[in-house]
Every structure is written in structure tokens, then in C-alpha cells.
Homo-oligomer: A and B are copies of this chain.
Amino acid sequence: MTVKKSKPAARTLRADALRNRERILAAAKAGFTKNGADASLDEIARRAKVGAGTLYRHFPTREALLEAVYQTEVEKLAAVQREFSKTMEPVEALRAWMLLFVDYIAAKQIIAPALYTLLGASPKVFQSTGGLVTRAIEALVAGAVASGEIRADINAMDLLRAVYGVSSVASAPDWPQRAKRLVDILIHGSRVR
């Protein structure tokens, strides 16, 4: 038997591999932005001047790629949650963060399908990037519940899914306003009677 290093976990990529990874991410961002979350992966590989095999080796599934592309955006959302939780009243923090969530979707319409995946079923996806969003909204709701201002029986993710539902399917140009109004409705409806 050969001796193995324990925990090879995050191996360092070779220089060319790293280069390609970046190029793929750039091409993917452009591709998703232009053609939505179901843009052709081969096309993205082509634009990145990389073989299809290379793309799939780096990102085995479409979700993995989508996730990598929007990881930074999602990380920002998570960071802001920590900020808000420290500096604001619980309910206001929740409201403010949800409004920000709308803005993020507005700014990057493409993030919507990605978040759809994150909010959705797949447990694997949930673990990594998705976990950040989950933890953010859950921390906010937990805080607001603890303060006694909102009902204890509300499911944090459901609030987000509701907002997402309005934002992503949205057709009319005034959807951000409508989404924000919905946030108000949700917050108000969530208050202890």
C-alpha cells in the first residue's frame, strides 16, 4: 500500500489549470448574463477557448458552474446580514436585508435562476454557497423571533422563496417596487398579532 497524505482536501491547482478556471468563469458569467441560466455550456467552453472536457472537469454540473459564478455575490449578501444584525433592530434588520435581496436580484437578473437552485431541493448545493443565504435569513428571522416581535412559526426560507417567486417570474418593469411592497406585506403579516 502506498502512503497517502491525510486530507488532501483543497489541492493547489497547476498554473494553467488556474488560468483556465478563470477564463471559464468569465465566459460563464457573460454567457449566463446574455442567455440565462440555461446557456449552452459548450458555447461557454468555446468562448473561454477551452475544450468541453476542461470545462466539465472544473465544473462537473451546470449548478456547480452557476454556483461558482455567483459565489461572490452571495457572499456579499451574507456579509451584509452580519452587519445589519449588529447595527439594527431585529425586525428592521430582517426587512432591510430582504429589500436588499430584491435589489440584488434586480441588479443581477441572472442570479435569480441560480438562487432558485440554491433555495430549491438539491441538498448538495445547499451545503456550499447556498448555505450562506440560508444561514443569513435564518439568523435574521431567529433574531426577530427572539425579540418577540414576529411569530415563531414562520419558516425563514419561505419568506425568501416568496420574494423570489415575485422577483424572478416578474415581467412588468415595475417589479422591484412590487417585490418591495411584498416584503412589507410579509413582514407585517409575520408580526405577532
Contacts and interface: CB of A to CB of B under 8 A. Distances in A.
Most chain-B Cβ atoms within 10 A of its Cβ — which of A119, A164, A181, A189?
A189
A182 B166 contact: no
A192 to B, nearest CB: 11
Given A153-B181, A189-B190, A166 B171 contact: no
Chain A interface mostly: helix
Interface stretch (A2-10, A57-65, A154-162): A154-162
A154 to B, nearest CB: 7
A51 interface: no
Contacts of A186: 162, 185-186, 189
Interface of A: 116, 119-121, 153-155, 158, 161-166, 168-171, 178-179, 181-182, 184-190, 193
